[in-house]
Amino acid sequence: MTNKNEGTASRIYLVVNFVILILITILFSWHATRYYSDWNNGLESFMKNMAVSLSYPAWTYDKRVIEQITAVMIEKDEIISVVVYDDKNNKLVVKEKKLNLTTTDLLFGTKRLDRTYNLIYADTYVGKVIFTYIDRSTRTFLVVSGTGAALLYIVSALLILNIKKSKKLAAMVNELNELNAELEMAFNELEETQNKIINAEKMAALGKLMVNIAHDINTPAGIIYSSLTEQQNRIDNVVKKFQSDQLTEEDFKDCLDTISELNQIMLRNAKRIIELVQSLKRTAMNEMTQTWSEVNVKSLVNDVLNAMHPRLRKTKIEVVTEVDDNLVAYTVPGAIAQILMNLIDNAIVHAFEYDNPGKIVIKFEKVMSRNKEEYLQLTFSDNGKGMDEETKKRAFEPFYTTDKENGTGLGLSIVYNLVVDMLGGDIELESEIGKGTTLRIKIPLTKKNA
């Protein structure tokens, strides 16, 4: 009887173990397939986004920006080399790092793979980028996961037999903790890479701003040059008449009047150049320093609008500001300036699509919360085309954009990070198709002596 019971128990044990083995195999296969798909899709998305960010610098042959962007790319663990070509198949930038395949890599079958993406700007082929990467992380994951699945089966079998149950469970918990630590490290690396990409985008935007200001300075500089030339001609003419005793009082007076008018013209245009340069200087310094200080909000807004004037004047957009002349806040001027610049640029590209007429209203005011805390509130609104529900939900996601050709998907993401992470505020977005968009940003005001 005992032998019969033992035989029955043994058969049940084998059936249970077989069922457990089948379930673990199915679970492992599903999980491994999903992990590889997520890894592959994530890496492909990263490469595509990087290719998009390289299209404009490749079009302008801006090697400095290409160097900055590829420097961020090569820091990703899987990527071992990035080669950027122009439209004539000439190498623009090559970034690579040394790859040492270990015995473990050879054992796991780690492969070296390539992917090529064309660089398209304004529907024009401007070059290509070739990524070389390895699938070490996926191979390692498969081996580790396979090992984990095998251990799970062994532990399950041991649990059925009630042998060393506590010890095996503790070993599995430790292994899971190690896997969680690795996942946390991978997440931190991803976050660091994202911050570097955002900084690269910020520097590229500042460079574009300087180029636009330079174009805007050309006009008053040309007027000054023309006025000086005319003034010199008038003086030379008077000197010739004086030397030949042909200078009359009327000629001399006419020369003085003309020179006076020309001086006024030159003074006005020189003042314009000084204002442009000072606005750019203050905006650029605020962008770079990111320090806390007291600032007149209206002056800061005017500096940003002066810096953005070359871009705005090419549109049909009217910008209206509602800011008290004496509104002073202790905050990070560079963060406020960058928030405004990104919001204006985002409205130009997405709300009005470059050439449509429209209106932007920028309003700053101090508000008091229910618990008597003081906030600086920015209300930024436009009467553009608005957003649908899907766009509103994903508006602050990095790399999400409705303009695949020109947008980078970082504008509103940078605004969100500055408002929430740096300034400790919050941001609300309201939008409706055909009725425009409104963003309300509340920033807590810190006392200067705090």
Gap between the Cα atoms of 336 and 422, Å rounded: 11
Q: Are residues 268 and 301 in the same domain?
A: no
Q: Residue 133 pLDDT more than 70?
A: yes
Residue ending a domain, choose from 163, 197, 219:
163
What is the reported pLDDT for 205? 54
Provide the residue range defining the domain that includes 215.
Answer: 211-277
**Three-class HEC string of 346-398:** HHHHHHCCCCCCEEEEEEEEEEECCCCCEEEEEEEEECCCCCCHHHHHHCCCC
Query: Is residue 41 located within the same domain as residue 75?
Result: yes
Structure confidence at residue 212 (pLDDT): 56
* Residue 281 pLDDT exceeds 70: no
User: Same structural domain for residues 79 and 117?
Assistant: yes
Largest CA distance in the chain: 146
Query: H/E/C letters for each residue in 387-444?
Result: CCHHHHHHCCCCCCCCCCCCCCCCHHHHHHHHHHHHCCCEEEEEEECCCEEEEEEEEE
Question: Structure pTM?
Answer: 0.44
Q: Do 270 and 324 belong to one domain?
A: no
Q: Is residue 67 part of a domain?
A: yes
- Residue 365 falls within a domain, yes or no? yes
Residue 285 lies in a domain: no
CATH number of the domain residue 41 falls in: 3.30.450
Q: Report if residue 136 sits inside a domain.
A: yes
Is residue 232 domain-shared with residue 300, that is, in the same domain? no
158 and 27 within one domain: yes
Lowest mean pLDDT among 148-157, 324-333, 412-421: 148-157
Do 253 and 142 lie in one domain? The reply is no
Do both 263 and 317 map to the same domain? no
The token pair at 440 is 């309300």
What's the rounded mean pLDDT across residues 127-153? 82
Domain endpoint, select from 255, 277, 299: 277
CATH assignment at residue 418? 3.30.565.10
Burial class (CB in 10 A: 0-12, 13-18, 19+), 166: exposed
SS3 content of the chain, % helix, strand, coil (to 5): 60, 20, 20
- C-alpha span between 153 and 172 (Å, rounded): 11
What pLDDT was estimated at residue 380? Answer: 95
> Residues 269-288: what's their mean pLDDT?
62
Residue pLDDT, tens place only, 296-305: 999 889 888 8
Indicate the number of domains in the chain. 3
**DSSP letters along 119-171, please?**
EEETTEEEEEEEEEEE-HHHHHHHHHHHHHHHHHHHHHHHHHHTSSHHHHHHH
pLDDT band at 294 (very low <50, low <70, confident <90, very high): confident
Residues 313 and 227 in one domain: no
The span from the CA of 112 to the CA of 71, in Å, is 20
**Kind of pairing between the strands at 317-322 and 358-368:** parallel
User: 103-117, 215-229, 252-266 — which is least confidently predicted?
Assistant: 215-229
Contacts (Cβ under 8 Å, ≥6 apart) of 191: none
Q: Are 29 and 97 in the same domain?
A: yes
Q: Are residues 325 and 428 in the same domain?
A: yes
Flag whether pLDDT at 450 surpasses 50. Answer: no
Listed range (90-99, 381-390, 403-412) with the worst mean pLDDT: 403-412
**Shortest CA distance to 412 belongs to which of 347, 323, 337?**
347
Nearest to 396 by CA among 343, 360, 357, 444: 343
Is residue 194 scored above 70 in pLDDT? Answer: no
Residue 157 lies in a domain: yes
Considering 229, 253, 277, which residue would you say is the last residue of a domain?
277
